[in-house]
């Protein structure tokens, strides 16, 4: 389920992200680099009352993924509905020293049009296809205030490489397609 939030600070393994919380802003601001010294705010645990009452149409339920599997060796993400692969996409993963974590996780965040804040000079890139985070963010890993997820990139030539600070980079068209297939709570297996 996707919903609009106002600003919430989250820290990636290599930086921080501001996510919208409760209707103040529809965008997010994220940065890669050294985490800030101040602790981050935790994600909301429960949905707003009006969101909890939304029923997904039956035809949408049939097309949603039941799990996502990231194969690090192949550098590909597979989207499953039950035991059938319904989509797969090439990805770029974490570079040596910043490896994408292995394990069983679930989608914990979904943000449309995230903005990137450069941790070295503080400049914020405009949201959109040329943002370093591309057009979608799908967070699946959290340790303390650090987050890792799938996101778009304008550098689509890096697919198949180990170049990120732990996140999974995807072509913008692919991360937008993945965003439409998943929802919070969907299992994400990184192997």
17, 114 Cβ separation under 8 angstroms: yes
pLDDT digits (tens, 9 = 90+) for 95-151: 999 999 999 999 999 999 998 777 678 888 889 888 889 999 999 999 886 789 999
Q: What is the pLDDT of residue 35?
A: 37
Q: In which residue ranges of the chain is pLDDT below 50? A: 1-61
- 163 in a structural domain: yes
pTM over 0.75: no
- 171 in a structural domain: yes
The number of beta carbons lying within 10 Å of the beta carbon of residue 111 is 28
- 61 in a structural domain: no
- 31 in a structural domain: no
Number of separate domains in the chain: 1
Look up the CATH number of the domain holding residue 93: 2.40.440.10
Q: 3-state DSSP call for residue 188?
A: strand
Q: What is the pLDDT of residue 61?
A: 46
- 165 in a structural domain: yes
The residues annotated as belonging to the active site are: 151, 167
Q: What is the pLDDT of residue 63?
A: 57
Q: What is the pLDDT of residue 118?
A: 72
CA-CA distance, 80 to 63, in Å (whole number)?
Answer: 10
Assign residue 23 a region (left: φ > 0; alpha: ψ between -120 and 50; beta: otherwise): left
- Written as one string, the DSSP assignment of 115-137 is EEB-TTT--BPPSSTTSTTTTEE
* Range(s) of the domain holding residue 157: 66-190
Q: What is the pLDDT of residue 55?
A: 40
- 102 in a structural domain: yes
- 5 in a structural domain: no
- 42 in a structural domain: no
Q: What is the pLDDT of residue 94?
A: 96
């Amino acid at each position: 389920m996707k919903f609009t939030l106002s600003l919430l600070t989250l820290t990636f393994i290599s930086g921080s992200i501001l996510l919208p919380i409760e209707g103040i802003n529809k965008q997010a601001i994220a940065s890669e680099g050294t985490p800030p010294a101040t602790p981050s705010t935790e994600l909301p645990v429960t949905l707003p009352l009006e969101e909890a009452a939304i029923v997904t149409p039956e035809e949408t339920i049939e097309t949603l993924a039941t799990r996502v599997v990231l194969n690090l060796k192949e550098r590909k993400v597979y989207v499953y509905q039950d035991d059938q692969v319904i989509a797969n996409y090439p990805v770029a993963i974490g570079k040596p020293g910043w490896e994408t974590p292995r394990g069983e996780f679930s989608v914990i965040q979904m943000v449309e049009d995230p903005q990137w804040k450069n941790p070295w000079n503080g400049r914020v890139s405009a949201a959109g296809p040329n943002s370093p985070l591309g057009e979608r963010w799908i967070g699946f890993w959290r340790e303390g205030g650090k987050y890792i997820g799938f996101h778009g990139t304008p550098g689509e030539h890096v697919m198949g490489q180990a170049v990120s600070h732990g996140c999974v980079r995807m072509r913008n068209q692919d991360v937008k397609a993945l965003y439409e297939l998943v929802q919070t709570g969907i299992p994400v297996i990184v192997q």
